[in-house]
């Protein structure tokens, strides 16, 4: 599929069938060596190609000079589930690494390495890491690739043993992998333990934010820490666990709390936090969180009728010393009836922490409800205390969901999202669009 870019401010379709979850990174990258954008996604049987394409793990490449795009298949019909989107990494030698896993339905983390540097058209045979004995056959989910040049090591963060945040490590830039230990563990409540987002400076430190459990099962707070020198630190730099490699994991409450369940902001009681995005510039961090506002049910019980018609996006900013939490936007009701805490999500610009993109069914400029989820760009001049908004999409006939601002080249401002209809993580008819 080839597509040529129209006007600069009109999004172009780069893949006519694809979506992603938000706990894999980097889902998209820019390779400055070739001025190429890569975005990973999973095709669905409801979209073009039908069942013959449904479940394909794909990497789309876009020539940023011409707008031409091409879809490359990493694994045919693996599983139709947006949780299986690949994480991507550019190695020092220019070869690409793609890592992906099913959604708890088998015990493998899979990866492929491109056969040529800066070229996604060919890939070495798929390899896999078997979690069966380590995870007691409970399955693996998610991939998050982060390389630290000072260590010469690549980390892959996976949800695996006890459904905890678990890691694999590679000493050869992603060609081979071994088990690396666990970050966190605690008795499991409900579905899983801890939804974690990661960001790396690429040299010696990986920051993370994480929850207690799933927000439908637990009234989550959100915590921050970082991995450096084989130790897990809280936000102030105190070591809370060492070593990391080989660790059995600790309780994430040992980290620094950045959102406490029950916090009141602007008169709203905020509960059931979830991690959405995390980005870094220098010593500063910015995060987008989601939560419920004024949930009358209190602690969740599965048999309760849920009051989840009012979600909020929050903006958290770390100046290198402490976190400040600010309201960002109204996120509307739950996106899916059976996933009451899903929203349209949002993304921080990795090259400008004062800029965000959000997906919402409520216009942040007016508070008016819109028929579909639209994309908005927000800019702050006071580190998140106030925002100025503009609409990127308006009057859409379908939903616009899960925006990403693509890292890899600070000179290129590229935003991706997918648009269409979604009834579950396993059933969607959506196309991926790019705005330059």
Which long-range contacts link 214-217 to residues 24+ away (Cβ below 8 Å)?
A: 214/190, 214/341, 215/272, 215/273, 215/274, 215/291, 215/292, 215/341, 216/190, 216/191, 216/272, 216/300, 216/302, 216/306, 216/339, 216/340, 216/341, 217/189, 217/190, 217/191, 217/300
- Whether residue 200 has pLDDT greater than 60: yes
- Whether residue 296 has pLDDT greater than 90: no
Query: What gap in Å lies between CA 247 and CA 121, rounded to an integer?
Result: 38
Higher-scoring residue by pLDDT: 300, 330: 330
Average pLDDT over residues 408-420: 96
Three-state DSSP at 10 gives coil
- Whether residue 424 has pLDDT greater than 60: yes
Do 392 and 415 sit in the same domain of this protein?
no
Query: What gap in Å lies between CA 55 and CA 46, rounded to an integer?
Result: 10
Is residue 432 situated within a structural domain?
yes
Is residue 430 situated within a structural domain?
yes
Do 392 and 279 sit in the same domain of this protein?
yes
Do 331 and 436 sit in the same domain of this protein?
no
Q: Over the stretch 226-273, which tens digit does the pLDDT of each residue have?
A: 999 999 999 999 999 999 999 999 999 999 999 999 999 999 999 999
Three-state DSSP at 349 gives strand
Is residue 134 situated within a structural domain?
no
- Whether residue 9 has pLDDT greater than 80: no
- Whether residue 144 has pLDDT greater than 60: yes
Is residue 254 situated within a structural domain?
no
Do 15 and 65 sit in the same domain of this protein?
yes
Number of domains within the chain:
2
Tell which residue, 65, 63, 41, 66, has the closest CA to residue 54.
41
Mean pLDDT of the chain: 94
Do 428 and 315 sit in the same domain of this protein?
no
Do 264 and 374 sit in the same domain of this protein?
yes
- Whether residue 300 has pLDDT greater than 70: no
- Whether residue 129 has pLDDT greater than 50: yes
Two structure tokens written together for 53: 């394409």
Average pLDDT over residues 103-126: 97
Is residue 6 situated within a structural domain?
yes
Query: What gap in Å lies between CA 332 and CA 290, rounded to an integer?
Result: 11
> How would you classify the pairing of strands 399-405 and 415-424?
antiparallel
Is residue 334 situated within a structural domain?
yes
Do 294 and 311 sit in the same domain of this protein?
yes
Q: Residue 11's CB: how many other CB atoms inside 10 A?
A: 20
Do 296 and 379 sit in the same domain of this protein?
yes
DSSP annotation string for 278-338 = EEEETTEEEEEEEEEES-TT-S--TTSPP--S-EEEEEEEE-SS-EEEEEEEEEES-SBTT
- Whether residue 205 has pLDDT greater than 90: yes
Is residue 154 situated within a structural domain?
no
Two structure tokens written together for 41: 């996604």
pLDDT value at residue 165: 96
What is the chain's Cα-based Rg?
Answer: 20
Among left, alpha and beta (phi > 0; psi -120 to 50; other), residue 136 is: left
- Whether residue 303 has pLDDT greater than 60: no
Higher-scoring residue by pLDDT: 125, 296: 125
Query: What gap in Å lies between CA 143 and CA 110, rounded to an integer?
Result: 9
Do 319 and 420 sit in the same domain of this protein?
no
Do 385 and 411 sit in the same domain of this protein?
no
Average pLDDT over residues 68-73: 97
- Whether residue 114 has pLDDT greater than 60: yes
Do 273 and 332 sit in the same domain of this protein?
yes
- Whether residue 319 has pLDDT greater than 50: yes
Give the list of residues 6+ apart from residue 166 with CB closer than 8 angstroms, or none. Answer: 135, 157, 158, 159, 160, 180, 181, 182, 183, 249
Two structure tokens written together for 291: 């939560």
Residue 295's pLDDT band (cuts 50, 70, 90): confident
Do 294 and 413 sit in the same domain of this protein?
no
pTM: predicted TM-score of the whole model, two decimal places = 0.95
314 with 326: CB under 8 angstroms?
yes
- Whether residue 430 has pLDDT greater than 90: yes
DSSP annotation string for 84-143 = GPPEEEE-TTS-EEEEEE-SSSSSEEEEEEEEETTEEEEEPPPEEEE-HHHHTT---B--
Residue 135's pLDDT band (cuts 50, 70, 90): confident
Residue 8's pLDDT band (cuts 50, 70, 90): very low
pLDDT value at residue 307: 55
Query: What gap in Å lies between CA 247 and CA 176, rounded to an integer?
Result: 20
Query: What gap in Å lies between CA 313 and CA 340, rounded to an integer?
Result: 15
- Whether residue 130 has pLDDT greater than 80: yes
Angle of CA points 289, 339, 165, to nearest 5° = 55
Average pLDDT over residues 378-388: 98
Q: Which letter does DSSP use for residue 219 in this model?
A: -
Q: Over the stretch 41-51, which tens digit does the pLDDT of each residue have?
A: 999 999 999 99
pLDDT value at residue 7: 39
Q: Over the stretch 207-225, which tens digit does the pLDDT of each residue have?
A: 999 999 999 999 999 999 9
Q: Over the stretch 159-181, which tens digit does the pLDDT of each residue have?
A: 999 999 999 999 999 999 999 99
C-alpha to C-alpha distances, 304 to 203, 255, 301, 335, nearest whole angstrom:
47, 31, 6, 19
Residue for token pair 């190429």: 36
Residue 138's pLDDT band (cuts 50, 70, 90): confident
Is residue 110 situated within a structural domain?
no
Query: What gap in Å lies between CA 63 and CA 198, rounded to an integer?
Result: 27
Two structure tokens written together for 419: 């648009």
Query: What gap in Å lies between CA 5 and CA 436, rounded to an integer?
Result: 9
Three-state DSSP at 273 gives strand
Domain that holds residue 289: 215-221+260-402
């Amino acid at each position: 599929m080839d597509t040529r870019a129209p006007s600069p401010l009109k999004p172009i379709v780069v893949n006519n069938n694809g979506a992603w979850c938000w706990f894999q990174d980097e889902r998209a990258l820019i390779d400055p060596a070739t001025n190429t954008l890569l975005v990973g996604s999973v095709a669905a049987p409801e979209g073009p190609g039908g069942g013959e394409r449904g479940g394909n793990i794909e990497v789309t490449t876009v020539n940023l000079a011409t707008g031409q795009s091409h879809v490359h298949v990493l694994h045919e019909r693996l599983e139709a589930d947006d949780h299986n989107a690949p994480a991507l990494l550019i190695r020092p030698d220019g070869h690409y690494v793609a890592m992906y896993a099913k959604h708890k339905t088998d015990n493998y983390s899979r990866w492929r390495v491109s056969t040529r540097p800066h070229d996604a058209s060919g890939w070495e045979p798929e390899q896999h890491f078997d979690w069966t004995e380590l995870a007691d056959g409970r399955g693996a989910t998610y991939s998050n690739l982060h390389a630290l040049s000072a260590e010469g090591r690549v980390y892959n963060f996976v949800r695996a043993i006890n459904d905890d945040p678990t890691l694999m490590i590679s000493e050869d830039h992603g060609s081979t992998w071994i088990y690396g230990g666990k970050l966190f563990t605690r008795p499991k409540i409900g579905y899983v333990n801890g939804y974690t987002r990661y960001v790396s400076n690429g040299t010696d430190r990986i920051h993370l934010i994480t929850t207690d459990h799933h927000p439908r099962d637990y009234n989550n707070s959100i915590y921050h820490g970082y991995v450096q020198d084989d130790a897990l630190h809280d936000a102030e730099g105190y070591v809370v666990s060492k070593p990391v490699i080989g660790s059995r994991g600790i309780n994430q409450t040992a980290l620094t709390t950045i959102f406490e369940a029950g916090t009141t902001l602007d008169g709203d009681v905020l509960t059931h936090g979830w991690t959405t995005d995390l980005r870094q510039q220098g010593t500063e961090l910015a995060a987008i969180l989601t939560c419920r506002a004024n949930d009358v049910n209190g602690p969740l019980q599965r048999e309760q009728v849920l009051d989840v018609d009012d979600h909020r996006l929050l903006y958290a900013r770390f100046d290198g010393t402490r976190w400040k939490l600010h309201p960002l936007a109204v996120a509307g009701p739950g996106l899916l009836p059976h996933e009451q805490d899903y929203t349209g999500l949002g993304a921080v610009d990795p090259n400008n922490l004062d800029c965000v993109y959000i997906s919402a069914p409520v216009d942040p400029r007016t508070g008016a409800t819109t028929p579909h989820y639209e994309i908005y760009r927000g800019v702050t001049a006071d580190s998140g205390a106030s925002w100025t908004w503009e609409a990127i999409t308006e009057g859409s006939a379908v939903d616009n969901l899960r925006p990403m601002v693509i890292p890899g080249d600070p000179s290129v401002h590229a935003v991706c999202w997918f648009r269409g209809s979604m009834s579950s993580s396993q059933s969607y008819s959506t196309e991926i669009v790019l705005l330059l």
